[in-house]
Chain A
Amino acid sequence: MNKRINATNVFRTYGTIIAGVIIIIMFSILRPQSFATISNAINITRQISLLVVISIGATLIMAVEEFDLSIGAMASLGGVLAAKLSVNGIPVIFALLIALAICFIIGYVNGYIVTKFKVLSFITTLAMGTIIGGFTFWFTGGSTVFENIPKGFTFLGTKTVLSLPLLSIIMLLLTILFWFIMRHTVFGRKLYAIGGNEVAAQVSGLNVKMNKNLAFALCGSMAALTGMLTASRLGSAHPTGGDGFFLSAYAAVFLGRTVFKEGVPTIWGTFIGAAILGILANGLTILQIPTFMQDILTGMIIITAVVVQKMGANKHE
């Protein structure tokens, strides 16, 4: 009897990780030749790198219990802006920084509207995403930016260091950086306090508005960075190239919330969430499962994870 309760407890606490391990073992047995290889593992890290970067931003926003629906459009804008600027002769590094700064400001405006006028972030960022999409289309005339892209622009997205893709290294560094920010800085502590109980945070003297605005700004920046890295990897920037990231990013964060028993969004949780999604996509592709089937399975796994965790949380109350 006791043992059984313990088993359910273990599953509730580490269920997501256990599920991840089961998925890896399953694919390794089914396709030992193509899935369970070092080169495929490295390949997976590159495949998930872009998702991880955008999901880190989404983690910050979810930590303060808000939503940013504009991250997909923001990623597209970031890629297009950086590409356009470099095509026009601006050195790549400055092109990246300018695009990043612009998206930081747009993100900040998102936050400002939400905190100043107490508008739901859902609506604000939905509208902002539409506006950004319109601007991106205007800049590009709706076509992909690919002519005259300087060679340096593709450096970040294609270079490897000691046979590791530079993208994977960037992903790892950013994950560690933001883990440190969320875990060991005042800013991170304040974001979690605001997300945990906004009123209490305010009564305790925290500047809720400013910290939330910063979370929105950083979220926008990370989305833009994702768009740039995507463009750098492909050597071209499509005006809707980042849109597809939006849903997977939140899927990664929600899955990540279930990794640790506290149920709050954490950077490593998100990383694991994105990794599980990436491994799943990779393995199912190797098994030649059609894309629609992959979507169905991925969706079902996310719902299962969230439901299992909710059941654990309800029991806690």
Chain B
Amino acid sequence: MLLRTDGVTKKFGSMYALKDIDINIEAGEIHGLVGENGAGKSTLIKILTGVYHLDEGSMIWEGKKVELSHPMDSHRLGINVIHQDRNLIPSFNGIENIYLGLDYEKTGIRVNWGKMQEKVEKLIEELGISVSLNKPASSLTPPEKTLLEMIRAMMTECKLLILDEPTASLTDKEAQILFKTVLRLKNKGTSILYVTHRLDEIFQLTDRITVFKNGQRVKTLETKHTDKDGLISLMTDNWTRENYDNKRDKGEVVLSVRNITSRDQKVKDASFEVHAGEILGLFGLGGSGRTELLECIYGLRSMERGCIQIDQQEVKISNPAQAIKSGMVLICEDRRGMALVGGLSVKDNILLSNIDQYAQKGILNEKREIDDANAKIKSLSIKTTGYKQPVIELSGGNQQKVVFAKALMTNPKIFLCDEPTQAVDVKTRAEIHKLLEEKAKEGNAVVFVSSDLKEVLEIADSVQIIAAGRTRDCLVNHNLAGEKVLQCCYVE
């Protein structure tokens, strides 16, 4: 056995990211790791590569207990990871990139490029990979870049190679090239931990599969003894919404989105509509284009084509100011980066979107500002030392309430919410749900994006599936099972 973990646990604050994880990886096997968003896959990778330090439990490497406190430690053991966002320097050629972090071959003080090239070429031949070493990384195709990283990983003795969503940006044909190399590495005796959302690949490549859910290991199975449906049912709680009694009346279509394609092709031909009084869940796996779709609608991302209608009227929206004027508001996923001005006060942040209304001939009426800001602080029960406090000093949940306070100031009728409860406490999460339900009840339309499927099923009236930038089925959330939603996501 190459690697075994015993009761590995990792906490962030009071939240368990991983709880009591026991896995084992045999020498020379391809081990698949699957699970929903937030199941703990990335946390495990970070622990195995020494980025995070585990809180409890232990790691046994080749029969010996090891402590990893730095990425260098795991590298020394022979653990390498290849992330989906590749780690190459664009202007460097293949040799230079492969030798990043390795000692250069030298004669005297002069770098011996010839010897380095020889070494790399020898390895490439062994691995049976073909990739151009003399071109700069920026001009390589996506699979070539991945292959280059794999060569780099194999330059030192690599016993465990972790592949994190290696095919995320590859076409099917490109992925096949990668698979061939993966299988060849396996035959050479390297173990591979293969993490992906794409279940087809799991079945094509792996020997065994471990399923994670909510930070815990559900099961480890032999690949040949399971199928896709069985796997999906392990990944999700079979959870349906219970109290469906506070049903709202669905009115006219408020927002209708037709055939949106973004200029960067992250969103392709996406369509959906939301009615007055409706909360539409927009669910997709990581990288499905859900955030990008909202950004297109809100005028933050350029569209190649597509049509947006509000109250059956076509609108042209090319920037957020126009979106706000048309009655929309976007709650961004990236709270600190895109929603709040950290250095400004709570008051200034709340009033940022409608600040013009507080001025006469450009001069601000500070008394009205303070009154209105205080009213919002009170009605949303934002915990702060006062309206003057810089918003950066607030807790995550209270910061998010400030974001909502700002959103409410413009009286929107369409709420586009991207992960609105991410990294907020349980109480605030419930408050945000209640607020959105109230807003829907008042006849507004809400689009709710969350990578937490359970949360989507908890709050949404219907669930629009998005995968690979395209909108798929739209399911009514009535006795809707999480399994059904995931199946729609995993259909190739």
> Residues of A with Cβ closer than 8 Å to B?
184-187, 189-190, 192-193, 196-197, 199-207, 262-264
Contacts and interface: CB of A to CB of B under 8 A. Distances in A.
Contacts of B363: 184-186
B341 A193 contact: yes
A193 B338 contact: no
A199 B339 CA distance: 8
A189 B340 contact: no
Contact of A186 (B320, B341, B344, B359): B359
A202 B319 CA distance: 8
Given A185-B364, A186-B364, A200-B338, A205 B344 contact: no
Given A196-B341, A197-B338, A200-B339, 8 more contacts: A185-B359, A193-B344, A197-B337, A197-B340, A203-B298, A204-B339, A205-B323, A263-B343
Given A199-B338, A202-B319, A204-B320, A262 B352 contact: no
B319 A264 contact: no
B406 interface: yes
A206 B406 CA distance: 13
Contacts, number: 75
B324 A205 contact: yes
Interface residues on B, range: 20 to 34
B387 to A, nearest CB: 14
Interface of B: 298, 300, 319-321, 323-325, 330, 332, 337-344, 348, 352-353, 355-356, 358-359, 362-364, 366, 390, 406, 410
A205 B338 contact: no
5 contacts: A186-B356, A192-B344, A193-B348, A199-B337, A204-B406
A299 to B, nearest CB: 28
Of residues A196, A203, A206, A264, which shows the largest number of chain B Cβ atoms within 10 Å of its Cβ? A203
Contacts of B343: 196, 262-264
A190 B338 contact: no
Given A200-B338, A200-B340, A205-B410, A189 B348 contact: yes
A187 B342 CA distance: 19
B341 A197 contact: yes
Contact of B332 (A186, A190, A203): A203
Question: Closest 8 interchain pairs by CB?
Answer: A196-B341, A205-B324, A205-B321, A197-B341, A186-B359, A204-B352, A204-B353, A196-B343
A199 to B, nearest CB: 5
A12 B343 CA distance: 18
Contacts of A204: 320, 324, 339, 352-353, 406
